[in-house]
Structure 1
Amino acid sequence: MVDSGSPADTVQEVSEREALKRIFPRLPESSATLVGPGDDAAVLAAPDGRYVVTTDMMVHGPDFRLAWSSAEDLGWKAAATNLSDVAAMGAVPTALVVAIAAPPSLPVSALEAFADGLRAACAALAPGCGVVGGDLSVSGTLTIAVTAFGDLEGRAPVLRSGARPGDVVAVSGRLGSAAAGLRLLFAEAVDSDGTPDADAFARVVAAHPELIDAQLRPRPPVADGPLAADAGATAMLDLSDGLALDARRVAEASGVAIDLDPATLGGDPLTALTGGEDHGLLACFPAGTVLPGGFHPVGVVRAGSGLLVGGRAFDERGGWDPYLEWDGAAG
């Protein structure tokens, strides 16, 4: 891969056109591409005749801190969070469209590293998925928006609204690790006045690499989404906002109660319930189904409404809501 220009060049110094020239060769290619980056729009093959489409944003401050996330981390996470949403519908991710609004002082090398993160995440989590287009603009706040496309390959989409009493509730992926990592960052990767600190961050990473990696570079079980659909999953969603909040969404959409077994949630059930950004998959399966992939049972669907934990109503909101959490501090 050949780079041109200096790593110190900023976007403002080289212009949008030259920045894109340096980014394009680093982007992953999609196996569905008929016309890729370079025209006004991409053209993708749609052998199923349908497309799954989803979008997600990451904004500096509420969603990430540059003091803790490298540009490559951000590329990985931007891809991973969208790939998991496609998988949650039972589809195979095929293409990403990426838009970035960056401060003019951002080095072009950061955009190149971001592209490397996109490529690495697609290769590891959804081989054959690639970037087919996007946009680059200017903003005082670094903002990343990704739109992902997926192929159902003849499957019916798995919705949140199909859970039925008697179904087994199952999860693929670790619960609570990303939230534990984020808690460590805010508690220990800062100086005395709460400002992110590089030396403290390095110490936290060295002491808790798996938890920090779960927060900065989530590894959603993308392949388990289509496997769940093939196994007859009645409902499914991506665990992006916390098990309690997301399970409640399935219960509300399906008109049922979901009863989670705290004994299945690991050593810290409360963190597993209320921590966000796991990016695993929550699915419901008919009783007796052999659970596919990495799915393991965590509860059962019952007649009624709402969320239960161990048979008792769980009313704590839990999870992540950007408007309720936002305090205006970019960090």
Structure 2
Amino acid sequence: MDERAALSVVGNVVSAAGDDCAVIDGLVATTDMLHETTDFPDGTTRYTAGWRAVGASLSDVAAMGAEATAALAIYASPSFETAEIEAFLDGCLDVCAAVDAEYVGGDLDGHEEFTVSTTALGRTDAPVYRSGAAPGDVICVTGTLGRSGAAVRLFEGGETERANELFRFEPRVATGRSIAPYASSMMDSSDGMARSLHQLAEASDCGMSVSYADVPVDDAVEAVAADPSEERELAIHFGEDFELVCTVPEESLAEAADASPAALTPVGSVTDGGVRMDGESLSDRGFTH
């Protein structure tokens, strides 16, 4: 059973599952787990690991259009080294400070592999779910895509300083809050743009049609990609970019773009059925833990 199949089991048992965060009386809550072998390439510093792990959960809060309030992390490792723990905590504190949230602690545990489990909390009286898209809405993405894929290629090539910089993304909390009043559906792109489109389409019972030429591909992708095919793979399917993918009614697009602190790029439109890019079926592939 792969991750997608396992998630379907959870969804069959837990009726509230399925969005980036759980929503309870104005509180949003999310939790994530990252492992060294699947999430932290060789050369990832503990500072980057702390930033990225907590940032991943804060990105879920952003996807609900919520204000981020606090985050916690479990740090598990085969051994405890003062410098590594301090660097990890500095990363946690700094990413929280970047979105005006508070890092409030967590837990330590021995484990055979460096592993981090994070929780983030936020608040909103008007959460944005994945299920509100309607035909005619405009599909938009924030920022640029492919940044994390490019970082992994740089890690593989030994360019760890630049790779760590690319791996430290800023969660789009301010942007999520700013565009929430206009968005009909929203989620983050942690599993890749392609998978996000499929998930939004499934939740909203609609289709998606996008143009690759309109996708804002990060400059770092072109620098590391061997050819246009790899560039497209890193931008569309690799995932782990933690940008926002949202739908906005056409009449609200200009206001949403003006309100957004990050670039908000239209890439397509919501349709009656099917998920397509440039008129062809778009494969439901993305990041898998």
Say whether the fold is shared (TM-score over 0.5): yes
TM range (shorter): 0.7 to 0.9
> 1:213 is matched by which residue type in structure 2?
E
Describe the SS at the equivalent of 1:223: helix
Cα deviation digits, residues 161-203 of structure 1 (max 9, x gap): 11000000000121012112212323x2xxxxxxxxxxxx2xx
The one-letter amino acid paired with 1:225 is: G
Tell me the equivalent position of 2:18: none
Gaps of 5+ in 1: 1-47, 189-200, 323-331
Say which structure is richer in helix: 2
Deviation at 1:205, TM superposition (A): 4.3
Q: In the alignment, what sits opposite 2:269?
A: 300
2:247 match: 284
Given the alignment, which residue of 212, 217, 221 partners 2:172?
221
Cα RMSD for the two superposed structures: 1.8
Residue type at the aligned position of 2:150: A
1:116 to 63, 80, 90: 90
Q: How far did 1:243 drift?
A: 0.4
Shift of 1:212: 4.9
Runs of 4+ in 1 over 3 A off after TM superposition: 266-270
> Paired residue for 2:235?
272
Partner residue in 1 for 2:61: 86
CA contact (8 A) 2:71 2:102 kept: yes
> Quick check: 2:62–2:171 contact (8 Å CA) kept in 1?
no
Partner residue, 1:157? 127
Residue 56 of structure 1 aligns with which residue? 32
Does residue 233 (structure 1) correspond to residue 183 (structure 2)? The answer is: yes
Does the Cα contact within 8 Å between 1:173 and 1:221 map onto a contact in 2?
A: no
Structure 1 residues 233, 314: closer, same or farther in 2, change over 3 A?
A: same
Could you tell me which amino acid in structure 1 is paired with residue 53 of structure 2? A
Q: Partner of 2:113: helix, strand, or coil?
A: coil
**Aligned 8 A contact 2:206 2:270 in 1:** yes
Contact 1:158–1:234, Cα closer than 8 Å, also in 2: yes
Distance 1:212 1:133, change over 3 A: closer
* 3-state SS of paired residue (1:296): strand
Q: C-alpha separation between the residues in 1 aligned to 2:136 and 2:26?
A: 31
Contact 1:56 1:81 in 2 (8 A): yes
Per-residue deviation at 1:295?
1.1
Query: Secondary structure at the residue paired with 1:304?
Result: coil
Q: How does 1:129-208 map to 2 (within 5 A)?
A: 129-152=101-124, 154=125, 156-186=126-156, 188=157, 201=158, 204-205=159-160
Shift of 1:49: 4.7
Point out where structure 2 has 5 or more consecutive residues left out of the alignment: 1-23, 223-230
Distance across 2 between alignment mates of 1:269 and 1:143? 30
Shift of 1:269: 3.5
For 1:133 and 1:205, locate their aligned partners in 2 and report how far apart those are by CA, in whole Å. Answer: 28
Residue of structure 2 in register with 1:98 after alignment: 73
Q: When the two structures are aligned, how many residues end up with a matched partner?
A: 247
Distance 2:171 2:103 in 1: 19
TM-score by length of 1: 0.71
Three-state SS of the structure 2 residue aligned to 1:149 is: strand
**Matched residues, percent identical?**
36
